[in-house]
Structure 1
Amino acid sequence: MKLKFLIWRLVKLVIFLYVAWFLVFRHTPESYGKCDLYTEEMNGGIHTFQGQQYNIKLCGLKRGIDPSNIHYDEIRLAVYSMQGELLAERYFEFNWELRELEYGNDYLIYADGGGAGFETRMAMPPTRLDWIRARLPRLWP
């Protein structure tokens, strides 16, 4: 009986720590700013994939594109339908050398990898899994 009580207390402690971590260290979409500047500088905006138009919006956590302060800036890439529905969301570190998004017929490429210059391909149009992921809370800072 005492073991069940200890396990239950441990579970409650873990849940409490998770919620506290989530509330203290989580960046919400509202934490990101200067979306017009980032979108223009990084080649976002309205793009067509397989006959459908999407609005690619980019925002920065540090809120300024400048070689002196851009290091370690985190970017929020959001893909919206033309009706304004959020379809996909990604977060990545800004890379000054590979700052512009690249586009293909059914994908877009952004620089990822913690500033190491790795490129990540995102399927376009976004998948149903992308839509679901965009609605789940982000579990890390």
Structure 2
Amino acid sequence: MRAIAAAALLPVFLAGCASETSVIRQEHTYVVEWIGERPLIDRSHLTVTFSADGRAYGSGGCNHWFAGYQLKGSTLSISQPGSTRKACAPALMEQEQRFLQALSEVQRWDFSEIDQLRLWPREGAPIRLWSEEY
């Protein structure tokens, strides 16, 4: 009898222990670690913040970027990002363009088994991000 009661309570217990990172947090900054199959250039800093009013923004490593987004369940779409137009080293500019292009192709999101936010494009590997809190 106790085993049955314990089994019945297990989903309730697990739901109570669920990580807050199982949802995309608004007004929270995520730090980009990989764009598709490639890690970031050393010491470059790319970020993504999703605001409550449907705007996404952050640093592209050189310029600030901004876009609209729509989030419904695991579906995520980001409009074509715009950005400031500061010039940086060619490698940083190339990385930033890859990042902005990848953002515009995002169709869904999830979290990996290690609570890493992944933004999945139509094809290929995801953009992988960490919470700034970690």
Q: Which has the higher strand share?
A: 2
Larger radius of gyration between Structure 1 and Structure 2: 1
The normalised TM-score by structure 1 is 0.30
Q: Which has the higher contact order (CA 8 A, sep 6+)?
A: 2
What is the TM-score of this pair, normalised by structure 2?
0.31
